[in-house]
Amino acid sequence: MDLRCYESVVVFVPELDEKELEEQIQWVKSIIEKNGGEIVKVDNWGKRKLAYEIEKRKEGYYVLFLFRSSGDLVEELERNYRINNNVIRYLTVKRKESECEEKGEE
Return the CATH number at 27: 3.30.70.60
The answer to whether 103 and 72 have CB atoms below 8 angstroms apart is: no
User: Could you tell me if residue 103 is inside a domain?
Assistant: no
Tens digits of residue pLDDT in 47-93: 999 999 999 999 999 999 999 998 899 999 999 999 999 999 999 99
Distance in angstroms (rounded) separating the CA atoms of residues 59 and 71? 30
Distance in angstroms (rounded) separating the CA atoms of residues 67 and 54? 27
User: Could you tell me if residue 10 is inside a domain?
Assistant: yes
User: Could you tell me if residue 105 is inside a domain?
Assistant: no
User: Could you tell me if residue 65 is inside a domain?
Assistant: yes
Where in the sequence is the domain holding 82, given as residue range(s)? Answer: 4-95
Q: Give how many domains the chain has, as a whole number.
A: 1
Can you give the pTM of this predicted structure? Answer: 0.91
